[in-house]
Amino acid sequence: MKPIPSSQITPESVYLNRRQILRGMGLGAGSLLVGACAAPSTGGSSSGDRSPDVAPLVEPDSVLSVTEAPPVASAATDELGQPLTSFEAVTNYNNFYEFTTSKEGVARLAEDFVATPWTVEVGGLVNNPQTFDVDGIKALADVEERIYRLRCVEAWSMVVPWSGIPLAALLKTVQPKAEAKFVRFETLSDPDRLPGQKSRAFTWPYAEGLRLDEAMHDLAILATGLYGRDLPAQNGAPIRLVVPWKYGFKSIKSIVRIDLVDEMPSTLWNDQAPSEYGFFANVNPEVDHPRWSQKSERRIEGGLRRIDTLPFNGYGDQVAQLYAGMDLTKWF
């Protein structure tokens, strides 16, 4: 059987788009000379191979606007040496049922999604309930880049350079009461802007939850960007949860509400099929799933070979102690 080279898995439109971006950036021969007088890149963090004085806009028909900086990341791999998944793949292969169940159809449907203005109401069992806009959340801590593996329950995975703040920073600001045990998150409910919510197959809006100690863990972040850009709509604009040691469906997108509660909240996938999707949903090769292999996974752009799935998605050293004494085959 002829293997499919990784170069073949990027759709042509993306190649064309990429070329257009390169052209837009003026990366043709001698462009760096031309770029010397141009405005600095708005990319945020600096990357080794990109000159800071590349002209961001030189052609009137460019697909770039000044706010759409070229995708940048501070490193080419995660801490295990696994290469980042390309910006094209990260932003064109998405599970976001609020738009469509077709993973490669989300980006197009999300094109016109407007994520401003946006507010996140934080309340429930807290001493200091507050409503934040996205800038308000970003101001709670230094926005930092986190390169995380994302392991979907469907047995595919990516490596994504997110940017965001620790969820703990937000929780500390609102001061959970003593009786608060869990955090409940809710996605925007608006079938006009999120047409997938017209489907009756699911109980919208999407809801997810974490135990309070999980939510306070430093690895759990509220992401507001990826690849140095604002979060694209298809990835959960303008703000989403990222919990890298759990299956991707826990990392709820486009959050409008966060509540501290005293009981384990009901969550969309757990409601849908409790035998398949547990509340904890820690990545665990020892707990089978009736549909997909949880022992191995396919890395997007990683070629044909499956790779072994790691307990807690490779973050066991940091998070395993959260579950000390728990039977993780029961609490899957």
Partner 1 sequence: MKRRILVVRIITYTAAAAPFAWLALRYLTNDLGFNPIETLTTVTGLSALTLLVASLACTPIATVTGWRWPNTARRPLGLWAFAYALAHMSVFIGLDYALDLRAVFAEGLAEKPYIVVGFLALLILTALTLTSTRAWQRRLGKRWKLLHRGAYMAGLLAVVHFRWAGAKDDPIAPLVWGGVVGLLLVLRLPAVRKRIAATRSRWSAARRTAATGAEAGAGEGTA
Residues that bind partner 1 (CB under 8 A): 1, 4, 7-12, 89, 92-93, 97, 101, 103-104, 154, 156, 201, 272, 288, 290-291, 293, 295-296, 298, 300-301, 304-306
CB of 11 to partner 1, least distance (A): 5
Is 12 or 192 the residue whose CB approaches partner 1 more closely?
12
Q: What are phi and psi of 6, to 5 degrees?
A: -65, -20
Is 105 or 123 the residue whose CB approaches partner 1 more closely?
105
Contact assessment for residue 126 and residue 176, using Cβ atoms and an 8 Å cutoff: yes
Question: Where do the H-state alpha helices sit in the chain?
Answer: 12-24, 31-35, 87-90, 106-110, 134-138, 167-174, 212-216, 268-272, 316-319
Residue 247: closest CA among 95, 143, 120: 95
Is 131 or 296 the residue whose CB approaches partner 1 more closely?
296
CB of 247 to partner 1, least distance (A): 12
Residue 144: closest CA among 123, 129, 127, 162: 162
Residue 143: closest CA among 45, 39, 217: 45
User: Strand 255-261 relative to strand 182-187: parallel, antiparallel, unpaired?
Assistant: antiparallel
CB of 318 to partner 1, least distance (A): 28
Is 121 or 154 the residue whose CB approaches partner 1 more closely?
154
User: Could you give the angle at the alpha carbon of 26 between the alpha carbons of 21 and 28, nearest 5°?
Assistant: 105
Contact assessment for residue 312 and residue 282, using Cβ atoms and an 8 Å cutoff: yes
Is 22 or 304 the residue whose CB approaches partner 1 more closely?
304
